[in-house]
Amino acid sequence: MICTHNGEALLPSVLHHVREQSLAAQHVELLVVDDGSTDRTAEVAAASGVRVISLHPNRGLSAARNAGVESTSAPIIAFTDDDCEPAEGWLEALLSPFVDSTVDGVGGRVISASSDGLVLRYIDARNPLAPLGIGVVASSGFSHRLRAYLAGAFGVRRPLEAGAELYTVVGANMAFRRKLLDELGGFDATFSRAGDEEDLCRRAHDRPAGARLVFEPSAVVAHRFKPELADTLRRARTYGRAHSQAVGKHPAMRSIVYPFPILTFATAAVARFTRRPALAVLSLLIPILGYGRWPAEAWRRRSLEPLVYAYLQLLEETSTMRGELEGLRARRPRSGEP
């Protein structure tokens, strides 16, 4: 299933890559959900011979996914996005873990389709679209969350291996048994732009029977990220807003508080008001010292570029927290409301 909105220019590439899959075509139904596009998305999809579900007006990604699920009787449903390029063996690999009847869902690996330019190389080095292992969220306690964060910041978190248990998957590369989607009532349509797959995974794990989601690294999808920093920060802000919405829905979840942006800006503010140059210099060094993986990477590569990544990560995390604050304000009742 590929859900798209105004994806006229994007669809030909993703449809080409899906049609080149190693899995025999007779075993696959290819479905495009056109979510209220105002361009020629539906015509382009139909001309390629795939089945098209057209929604009017635009309903959002989660509602589009639900409409697609409702329109098919397939026992397993795989998802990718219109700005992605699945590898030739992607679908066959993504479906392979389902031979185990205890597997409810599978998440694959998402990589950057290009590393041309500073921002895309940063994204390639710090992938924002990575599945989350079950151990990272084994506890919602502060100390566990801080240790998990620091392990990522210093690059000592162990990479996921094939078959690893997942807590969440990534929407650009995921598959679920239909019976799980039916039992959960599909995706929550109030998550209109991001976060719906994380919410669905959380609800799956919260079932009395729990859920078994596994990682399949050989199922690879290349994502065509935009090279502009503004797009990276916009995406982080959107994720922050979605996370805030999830916190409001799931009491066990906690808001995102990244320590190094707070420490950096607090130190810079104190330096300004106390007029201490040493503190100003320290505020500039905090990202380098805090995100220890980047100095190590700079040394390994014999390049200064990874040091710049520390400041890009600072901006990205700041944008995520900004989005969360915006989401929090949006959830607050207005004057006169209960």
Q: What pLDDT, in 10s, does the model give residues 55-89?
A: 999 899 999 999 999 999 999 999 999 999 999 99
Residue 335 predicted with pLDDT over 60: no
Q: What pLDDT, in 10s, does the model give residues 88-102?
A: 999 999 999 999 999
Residue 235 predicted with pLDDT over 80: yes
* Distance in angstroms (rounded) separating the CA atoms of residues 149 and 83: 29
Burial label for 303, CB within 10 Å (0-12, 13-18, 19+), is exposed
**Band (306; pLDDT cuts 50, 70, 90):** very high
Q: What pLDDT, in 10s, does the model give residues 192-218?
A: 888 899 999 999 999 998 999 999 999
**Band (334; pLDDT cuts 50, 70, 90):** low
Residues 6+ apart with CB under 8 A from 314: 260, 261, 264, 287, 291
CA distances from 125 to 54, 260, 289, 296 (A): 37, 19, 18, 13
Q: Which of 242, 236, 279, 280 is nearest to 258 (CA)?
A: 236
Residues 6+ apart with CB under 8 A from 24: none
Q: What integer pLDDT is reported at residue 24 of this predicted model?
A: 79
* Distance in angstroms (rounded) separating the CA atoms of residues 53 and 41: 11
Q: What pLDDT, in 10s, does the model give residues 272-305?
A: 999 999 999 999 999 999 999 999 999 999 999 9
* Assigned CATH for 2-227: 3.90.550.10
DSSP conformation class of 209: T
Q: What is the pTM of this model?
A: 0.90
**Band (333; pLDDT cuts 50, 70, 90):** low
Provide the token pair at 272: 């300004």
**Range list of β-strands (E), 170-317:** 174-177, 213-223
Provide the token pair at 9: 């220019």
| In contact, 86 and 108? CB cutoff 8 Å | no
Q: What pLDDT, in 10s, does the model give residues 99-126?
A: 999 999 999 999 999 989 999 999 999 9
Domain ranges of the chain: 2-227, 229-328
Region 239-265 average pLDDT = 91
Instruction: Identify the weakest region by mean pLDDT among 121-135, 138-152, 176-190, 222-236.
Output: 138-152
